[in-house]
Amino acid sequence: MATIDSLINPYQDYAAVIFDCDGTLVDTMPAHFEAWCEALAIYGAANVLAEDVFYAMGGRPTKDIVMDLNAEYGLKLDPARVALSKREAFLRKLHSIELIEEVAEIARSLRGKVPMAIATGGSRFVIEKTLHIVGVSDWFDEVITADDVINGKPAPDIYLEAARRLGVAPESCVAFEDAPAGIDSAKAAGMRVVEVPAPMRK
């Protein structure tokens, strides 16, 4: 199985590195899925989000996913209320999350050597809690969240904003991503992408 280090080796001329958070740097996806199930059950929509669909939607803002579920199943869920319930359920599970060590080791080795950012579809409140609990809050020059852009992943906005804040051209950035929406987002921004393979997320 390829290692993360071997995947980044072809990109020796990068000027900055940008990491997705959930499922890429931090192993949060099982906790997020459980939180989704709990939140949807509160509003009578238990079992509408299959686990494989959830993983395919990874990286997208919560409210966007709720709107997709409404359209798909003819539901009338309030995106803001579901998002709040889902956030509260996830925060109760923070004790269960941990770094994805293969990716964290890359970030650790680059710290202080090249500009680094987080570019995530999560909210700032949740992401700051997440980074704090795993002890990496001070690793990154910038943290860009869904709260900072109008269009979430798979639109390129969040990666373009990360590059802008780092003062680096997008095409000189390498992005680490695990989910289809995030991969599409980084590529649309003109960045080279290291795709974090599924076994790294287990």
Where do the H-state alpha helices sit in 43-179? 51-56, 62-73, 79-91, 101-110, 124-133, 157-166
SS3 64: helix
Give the DSSP letter of residue 22.
Answer: B
What is the bridge-based pairing of β-strands 16-19 and 116-119? Answer: parallel
| Alpha carbons 148 and 107: distance in angstroms, whole number | 23
Catalytic option among 5, 13, 20, 64: 20
Angle, vertex CA 161, rays to CA 158 and CA 164, nearest 5:
155
* 122, 23 contact by CB (below 8 A): no
Cβ neighbors of 90 (< 8 A, separation 6 or more) are: 28, 31, 32, 35, 126
- 20 classed as catalytic: yes
Which residues are marked as active site?
Answer: 20
